[in-house]
Amino acid sequence: MLEKSKIKEENMKICLLGASFETGNLGVSALAESAVKIILHRWPDAEVTLLGAGYVPGEHHLSLMGRETSVRILPIRFCKNVFLPYHFLKFVFYGLLLKILPGLRMREYVANHNKYFRLLFETDLVADITGGDSFSDIYGFRRFFLVFLCKWLVILLGKKLVLLPQTYGPFKRPFTQKMARYVLKHANLVYSRDHAGIEYLKNVLNIDTNSRKVRFAPDIAFILDSRKPDNFDTTLLPKAKNGNTTLVGLNISGLLFNGGYTKDNMFGLKTDYRGLIHKIIDLFVDEKKAVIILVPHVFPPRGWEVESDPKACRKTYELTRDTYQKRMLLVDGKYNHNEIKYIIGLCDFFIGSRMHACIAAISQNIPTVGLAYSKKFEGVFESIGLGDCVADTRNCDEKEVLEKVESVFKRRSQIRNRLEHIMPRVKENILDIFNNSNGSQRNNTV
């Protein structure tokens, strides 16, 4: 357990693992910035390092909490060039040296020989977010194994480890479950972003059900700040919303649009995703007389077009704009996580296939339907009392999904009122994660 008496209060050096601003996935960027915000809320003068992010060391600058701040970037490379000073094997080698020869002279040698390892070795605390949902083998064993190795390195060095609110599992292979159990047992605190995850983790860990090691806290991206983009023509929206027209945001996942990484319905959806998207557009434009704005949320680097939301949105827009003309809008161009959240905040209703696109809407009190492809949607939505706003495309056919969407749309006023009531408390609980890490945490329920 992380007790305040065992953590210094000034000049904290904290590493953030499993978060980055360079993936093109705005959900991961939202988690990274939100985690930095939580850390600085607790320790305003902390030195924060993004561990395992990027390909080369550097800095990332943020406008956060009314001030400019910067975080270091310290990669952990697994490439063939083992001579890189920040290669995983280098870090392991120095870590084992200090285990075998823990004396002061060896510590001085290592510190002077490799400044990157020194930065990691002098860290007071490592907070891990694992991209929100990547502590699982759902995306393949290789990805899980690399995630595990980074956590194992932290444990090898004897660092305090806090697993920030995320989704755990599923662990489909017995071997990956054992590896996950090893990490969970060595972590000082384990936060789940859904209540069901707490029971799941306690079963995996085989610990006392009254233990305070495993706790609930909402997804930290709820506290992300929105920021108006300089290059977005917001005058289009008032024109499109003349009268009582409703603006419906629709986030299309490039990954689902292309059938997953394997391109053969990798996630086992019960409905044709592309066909479903067109049916949703027909529902709102034809029947509800709404205006649809297509909103991407993942802008992947070259070579990962299978995940591209902008390409999926563009293809959908080109197929529908002639039919629906001014009732179809497209968010074109590249925006960061704060800017996309601002654009989403202009909507009256939202439907998303990327969970953090949904969180961007919900956190701004916008009634939202999550088109789920994994268990993470249900858990996060249920954590704020919106479990009935999820349409699981793995279990629901097209008709059932459309019925769910229409049902939530009819209740949008009540849902907005509920969000306006609970969201301030949700955000307060998130900001207090590290303030409450001494075991005296109040009940983080909503």
Residue-wise pLDDT for 43-62, tens only, equals 999 999 999 999 999 999 99
pLDDT at residue 339 is higher than 80 = yes
Assess whether 198 and 263 both reside in one domain. Answer: no
Q: Residue 28's pLDDT band (boundaries 50, 70, 90)?
A: very high
CATH number at residue 78: 3.40.50
- Give dist(CA 368, CA 363) in Å, integer: 10
The total number of structural domains in the chain stands at 2
Assess whether 182 and 129 both reside in one domain. Answer: yes
pTM: 0.91
- Give dist(CA 291, CA 222) in Å, integer: 26
Assess whether 206 and 252 both reside in one domain. Answer: no
Residue 435 domain-assigned (yes or no): no
pLDDT at 107 (0 to 100): 79
Within 10 Å of residue 396's Cβ, how many Cβ atoms?
A: 20
Assess whether 151 and 268 both reside in one domain. Answer: no
Assess whether 139 and 59 both reside in one domain. Answer: yes
pLDDT in tens, 171-211: 888 899 999 999 999 999 999 999 888 888 888 777 665 67
- Give dist(CA 291, CA 329) in Å, integer: 8
Assess whether 254 and 395 both reside in one domain. Answer: yes
Residue 392 domain-assigned (yes or no): yes
pLDDT at 437 (0 to 100): 60
Assess whether 261 and 143 both reside in one domain. Answer: no
Residue 431 domain-assigned (yes or no): no
Residue 444 domain-assigned (yes or no): no
- Give dist(CA 376, CA 355) in Å, integer: 8
> Among 156, 186, 216, where does a domain finish?
216
Assess whether 123 and 186 both reside in one domain. Answer: yes
pLDDT in tens, 363-374: 999 999 999 998
Residue 350 domain-assigned (yes or no): yes
Assess whether 258 and 386 both reside in one domain. Answer: yes
Structure tokens at 286: 């034809």
Residue 129 domain-assigned (yes or no): yes
- Indicate the pairing of strand 58-64 with strand 67-74: antiparallel
Q: Which residues contact 406 (CB under 8 A, 6 or more apart)?
A: 283
* Domain boundaries, position 135: 4-216
The CA angle 308-309-315, to the nearest 5 degrees, is 100
Assess whether 186 and 297 both reside in one domain. Answer: no
Residue 445 domain-assigned (yes or no): no
* DSSP label of 435: T
pLDDT at 403 (0 to 100): 97
Q: Residue 9's pLDDT band (boundaries 50, 70, 90)?
A: low
What is the dihedral sign for C-alpha 36, 204, 138, 156? positive
Q: Where are the alpha helices (DSSP H) in 77-159?
A: 88-100, 104-113, 115-121, 141-156
Assess whether 173 and 247 both reside in one domain. Answer: no
**DSSP labels for 382-397?**
HHTT-GGGEEETTT--
pLDDT in tens, 237-273: 655 666 678 999 999 999 999 999 889 998 899 999 9
Amino acid at 303: G
- Give dist(CA 262, CA 294) in Å, integer: 25
Residue 229 domain-assigned (yes or no): no
Assess whether 208 and 268 both reside in one domain. Answer: no
Q: At 229, phi and psi to the nearest 5?
A: -75, 150
pLDDT at 243 (0 to 100): 63
CATH number at residue 311: 3.40.50.2000
Q: Residue 105's pLDDT band (boundaries 50, 70, 90)?
A: confident
- Give dist(CA 58, CA 232) in Å, integer: 29
Q: Which of 186-200, 226-240, 303-317, 346-360 has the lowest mean pLDDT?
A: 226-240
